[in-house]
Structure 1
């Protein structure tokens, strides 16, 4: 059996305009000063407003406890396992994977600063700083902390980075927000126009390959928010996919479990 069905995806990949005018002040000495006037960018303003609406709704569903199944399909492996998750937005997530016959496979607690991860099949425990490199090393999914949370929490939050170039298009019922990084990679978020939640997001590398495709479905209302009980994740150019199907979930749970049990005889590894 594999380390964890969650960890099968192979590692690959992820304007404001100014008008200036010169003014001269004459006295005994001439001073030339450039004055910069910010010109409104309606595209950027619309993108930011959409992000804010989506993220506000995303936060309406919080303190999540959920359990269900995860199904894996790769070129070499087809597996199914039980999964339990706890999520406190925006800063804490926990998951535990159990294989056939109730065998513990792995468990992890990640927050924005640090993580603890137990590999029960190999008697190892990992701790360290939460960053994309460590997440990728442990989960085999090249994602940031926020993207990992988006995958397991039944909904997506959108981040815009300072170096991103962004724009949007409209496709049927969707506002499609697009972000181009300085490295030439793309992120696209398909936002439901009416309800303002992310229905799908994809990552595209600089070779125009879709490296990550996340699709939400089986929605249920939760207070003023929405929760997807099914999350389908695929890596098309790798021929890999997995599907979360949550059969039970509770929101507003003030007694979330984030504890990773580590036996005393485990070999401990610290990652930077």
Structure 2
């Protein structure tokens, strides 16, 4: 009996040794910075000076004395509110089209997925050329139909729609997820629906959509988290300035400017925790609402 206990302890110790690199990495690169940022959010800290404790002053200034905070929050919420439904619907529609057994379908799947692979500064510079109001391909294409193209990145009313339009171009990543989930739906369900006289639209609405709701839920949650962290697009396409009339001053861009331009690190830390709370609350709401519309195969209702 004692040998068994010693063996189990040794086995458990070996397990901790194997996961030790992850534990060290988590403490050093996740838990440690997290605790530090929380503590720094209550201080006046500019990286080079000693931290001066100021209590809730940073948080009070955010809500009462900083109009740019509200502007950046509004810009981010606007982007999330419109980009997430449009990209989700676009990815589902595209995956439904590509879930057909026709010649050359693999070629089209590859073509539509490529934009999701291409990312980074090069893509944003390309879109700046495409959205150029004078020589850009987008406005030229609209001109073929007699539609005057907007000034896109130079008009505060069109900067955020321009970024949402650009986001729609890269729905291939979500398309791949939905395509895989659609191909996992049992064909017997469709055969039974055809026997009952269901149309293609009815099959899609009452079979395909309910069966892929777990993937839709996963995509919405992760896309919401990613949407609130929009930074690169706005930074590159506005040269870090936030666009005309701060119309592209998203939350993360403003936080970056506070941290690395104004060197008001304590203030930026407070902003990061406000963003964490917002995303956390929205995620909890999604988790609470999920049982009402997410269907898991084999689940009794």
Same fold (TM over 0.5): no
TM range (shorter): under 0.3
Greater RCO, CA 8 A, separation 6+: 2
Higher helix share: 2
TM-score (norm 1): 0.25
TM-score (norm 2): 0.23
Higher strand share: 1
